[in-house]
């Protein structure tokens, strides 16, 4: 009998321990396994007690929310449960809950914002959080988008700021600064001996000041292209480099005409420059300062030339379409001559055209009067949809847009380029540091290259002058707001 009572007591004790162990096991799953338990109501992730599975929480909206307490426990299966929250269930309150055995549990919310029952709202931006019971939560940083730069959009220019010291390059007149897609600025200009063409490049505007220049062509010892090598410009057209320049002859140094060089190398400081010859025009007369631009599939040449029938005019601005970079096609039309008194001081000259495309217009700057302190810059413009070969399409400024000032004299032969990212417009031109010249201005070497920022008014017209004084200036996006 005593034996039976002992056996019965052991059985009772055994049954009580089994019930206690079952409860203890459940607490272990929630607190001491690898899964995390959230009980403060402010957690952003759910907890899975299954150490062999992952729980992914994705939201079609940009916010995730949990209730005051989210605790998920399973042995082999992920089961997500909430009392009053929307974690792992639709936020519309339809009560749907997703559970998978040993698999990922995904949830989509049908609303834009899920709120904690304590009133807090937790927001995530289009990201997936993967919580693994055996690992820490990780962000895939390679998939994140950098939104700090807007250089590839038109909504807001990337911030730019850099310094330029004027004069930038000494004894370089008729400057031309071409910003290419390879990240370099290419610089070319008239040198004081009128004998050679030099080319240099740098990654910044200021860098051109100290860049090594390379002689890429020299005048002929006799005949054509033997004198007065003036105003070279470099352009990249149809995967080749072209230099337009003016030159006289050893037989007649004033028989100045327009010529073209070509180089098919990727880097114009290498390769071979081939002479494509002279560009014939409608008159066999003094012609110079050729530049080219393309618009709507048509390439154009602009240049200055003397019309023998216009005795009172020295040079005028002309335009023509081109069939290739060294051949004119179709009519040759005069766009501008010296109409105003400021264009006729010393000589009745319109020369040195350069093109800028902005604000739905084609702008052409040009220079006028003698090349002393009276030299100044005017402006032509036409709608980008206009017929450029119709003189009536063009408007002309009644006053110069750039003239002597701030101790810079005879500013002229201007052209346009941009900041490195293309958002800020720059004016490049030459000028002297003093007003009075001994002898013929053409024999004076002190025309120096200068650079300054261009601004725009509310009508989309450029604000070009006055010339900035000598010294260092800051070209910056900030300047646009001043």
Range among 65-69, 102-106, 184-188 with highest mean pLDDT value: 184-188
**CB of 41 closer than 8 Å to CB of 56:** no
Chain-centre distance for alpha carbon 419: 8
Catalytic residue among 68, 174, 289, 446: 174
Kindly state the tokens that stand for 301: 């040449």
- Average pLDDT of the chain? 78
pLDDT one-digit tens code per residue, 252-300: 999 999 999 999 999 999 999 999 999 999 999 999 999 999 999 999 9
The span from the CA of 70 to the CA of 72, in Å, is 7
**What per-residue confidence (pLDDT) applies to 61?**
37
Q: Is 174 an active-site residue?
A: yes
Antiparallel, parallel or unpaired: β 287-295 and 274-278:
unpaired
Kindly state the tokens that stand for 274: 């081939």
The span from the CA of 421 to the CA of 299, in Å, is 25
Residues in Cβ contact with 175 at an 8 Å cutoff, skipping those fewer than 6 apart:
169, 187, 188, 189, 413, 415, 428, 429, 430, 449
What is each CA distance from 373 to 207, 315, 435, in whole angstroms? 28, 19, 6
Catalytic residue among 351, 372, 425, 446: 351
Higher-confidence position of 136 and 466: 466
Buried b / exposed e across 93-124, counting CB within 10 Å, b at 16+? Answer: eeeeeeeeeeeebebebebeebbbbeeeebee
pLDDT one-digit tens code per residue, 166-224: 999 999 999 999 999 999 999 999 999 999 999 999 999 999 999 999 999 999 999 99
Q: Is 438 an active-site residue?
A: no
pLDDT one-digit tens code per residue, 305-355: 999 999 889 999 999 999 999 999 989 999 999 999 999 999 999 999 999
Asked if residue 297 has a cis previous peptide bond (ω within 30° of 0), the answer is: no
**What per-residue confidence (pLDDT) applies to 159?**
77
**What per-residue confidence (pLDDT) applies to 480?**
82
pLDDT band at 71 (very low <50, low <70, confident <90, very high): very low
Kindly state the tokens that stand for 46: 């759910």
pLDDT over 80 at 449, yes or no: yes
Main-chain phi, psi angles of 429, to 5 degrees: -160, 175
Q: Which helix (H) or strand (E) holds 302?
A: strand 298-305
pLDDT over 60 at 402, yes or no: yes
């Amino acid at each position: 009998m005593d034996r039976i009572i002992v056996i019965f007591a052991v059985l009772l004790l055994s049954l009580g321990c089994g019930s206690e162990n079952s409860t203890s096991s459940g607490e272990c799953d929630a607190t001491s396994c690898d899964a995390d338990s959230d009980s403060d109501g402010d957690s952003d992730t759910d907890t899975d007690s299954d150490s062999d599975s992952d729980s992914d929480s994705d939201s079609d909206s940009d916010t995730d929310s949990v209730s005051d307490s989210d605790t998920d426990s399973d042995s082999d299966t992920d089961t997500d449960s909430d009392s009053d929250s929307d974690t792992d269930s639709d936020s519309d309150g339809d009560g749907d809950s997703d559970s998978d055995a040993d698999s990922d549990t995904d949830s989509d919310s049908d609303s834009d914002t899920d709120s904690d029952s304590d009133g807090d709202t937790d927001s995530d931006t289009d990201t997936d959080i993967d919580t693994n019971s055996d690992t820490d939560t990780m962000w895939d940083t390679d998939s994140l988008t950098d939104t700090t730069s807007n250089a590839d959009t038109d909504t807001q220019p990337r911030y730019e700021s850099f310094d330029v010291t004027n004069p930038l390059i000494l004894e370089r007149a008729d400057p031309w600064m071409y910003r290419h897609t390879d990240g370099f600025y290419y610089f070319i200009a008239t040198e004081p001996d009128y004998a050679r063409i030099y080319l240099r490049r740098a990654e910044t505007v200021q860098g051109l000041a100290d860049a090594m220049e390379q002689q890429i062509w020299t005048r002929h010892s006799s005949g054509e292209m033997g004198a007065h090598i003036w105003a070279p410009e470099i352009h990249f057209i149809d995967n080749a480099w072209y230099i337009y320049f003016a030159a006289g002859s050893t037989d007649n140094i004033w028989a100045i005409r327009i010529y073209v060089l070509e180089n098919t190398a990727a880097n114009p400081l290498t390769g071979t420059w081939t002479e494509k010859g002279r560009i014939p025009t409608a008159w066999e007369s003094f012609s110079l300062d050729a530049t080219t631009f393309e618009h709507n599939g048509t390439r154009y040449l602009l240049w200055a030339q003397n019309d023998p029938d216009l005795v009172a005019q020295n040079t005028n601005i002309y335009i023509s379409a081109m069939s290739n970079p060294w051949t004119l096609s179709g009519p040759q039309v005069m766009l501008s001559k010296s109409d105003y008194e400021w264009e006729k001081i010393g000589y009745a000259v319109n020369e040195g055209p350069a093109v800028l495309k902005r604000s739905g217009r084609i702008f052409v700057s040009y220079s006028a009067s003698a090349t002393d302190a009276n030299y100044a810059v005017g402006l032509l413009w036409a709608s980008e949809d206009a017929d450029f070969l119709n003189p009536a399409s063009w408007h002309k400024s009644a006053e110069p847009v750039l003239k002597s000032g701030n101790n810079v004299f005879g500013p002229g032969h201007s052209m346009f380029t941009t900041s490195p990212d293309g958002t800020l417009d720059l004016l490049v031109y030459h000028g002297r540091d003093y007003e009075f010249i001994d002898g013929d201005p053409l024999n004076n070497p002190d025309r120096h290259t200068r650079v300054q920022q261009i601004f725009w008014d509310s009508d989309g017209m450029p604000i070009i002058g006055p010339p900035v004084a000598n010294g260092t200036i800051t070209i910056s996006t900030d300047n646009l707001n001043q």
